[in-house]
Structure 1
Amino acid sequence: MQTKPVLGLEEIDKIVAAARAEAQKHGWAVVISVVDDGGHPLALVRLDGASPASAYIATEKARTSALGRRESKAYEDMINGGRTAFLSAPLAGTLEGAVPVLVDGHVVGAVGVSGVKSEQDAQVAKAGAHSIGA
Structure 2
Amino acid sequence: MLRPAFALLTLAGVLAAGSALAQTVSPPGPAPSAAPHGPPPAPPYGRPVTLVEAKVAATAAEAEARRQGWSMVIVVVEPSGALVLSEKMDGAQYGSNDVARRKAETAANFRRPTSYFQEAVKGGTLNSIFTGALAIEGGELLIVDDRIVGAIGVSGGSGAQDGQVARVAAAALK
Same-fold call, TM cutoff 0.5: yes
2:150 alignment partner, SS class: strand
Q: Paired residue for 2:164?
A: 123
Paired residues in the alignment total: 130
TM-score (ref. length: structure 1):
0.89
The residue type paired with residue 49 of structure 1 is: G
Partner of 2:147: 106
Q: Is the 8 A contact 1:101 1:129 kept in 2?
A: yes
SS in 1 for 2:107: helix
Question: What residue number does 1:57 align with?
Answer: 99
Query: Residues 80 and 44 from structure 1, CA distance in 2 versus in 1: closer, same or farther, beyond 3 angstroms?
Result: same
- Secondary structure of residue in 2 paired with 1:90: coil
What SS does the aligned partner of 1:7 have?
coil
Structure 2: distance between partners of 1:87 and 1:105: 25
Q: Which runs of 5+ in 2 are unaligned?
A: 1-44
Instruction: Give ranges in structure 1 of 5+ residues lacking alignment.
Output: none
Cα drift, residue 88 of structure 1: 6.8
1:15 equivalent in structure 2: 57
Supply the distance in 2 between the matched residues of 1:81 and 1:111 (Cα, whole angstroms): 25
Q: Structure with the greater relative contact order (CA < 8 A, sep ≥ 6): 1 or 2?
A: 1
Could you tell me which amino acid in structure 1 is paired with residue 91 of structure 2? Answer: G
2:103 maps to 1:67? no
Q: What's the TM-score once normalised by structure 2's chain length?
A: 0.70
CA distance in 1, matches of 2:48, 2:77: 11
Q: CA-to-partner distance for each residue in 1:65-112, whole Å, 9 max, x for gaps?
A: 111111101011111211356397033x22111110111111111111
Structure number with larger C-alpha Rg: 2
In structure 1, how many angstroms separate the alpha carbons of the residues matched to 2:54 and 2:121?
Answer: 31
Q: How far is the alpha carbon of 1:40 from its aligned partner?
A: 1.2
State how far apart, in whole Å, the 2-side matches of 1:109 and 1:4 are: 8
Q: Give the CA RMSD over aligned residues.
A: 1.8
CA deviation digits over 1:26-76, x for unaligned, max 9? 110110010111111111111111111001001101110111111101011
State, as a whole percentage, how many aligned pairs show the same letter: 34
Q: Tell me if the contact between 2:107 and 2:113 (Cα under 8 Å) persists in the aligned partners.
A: yes
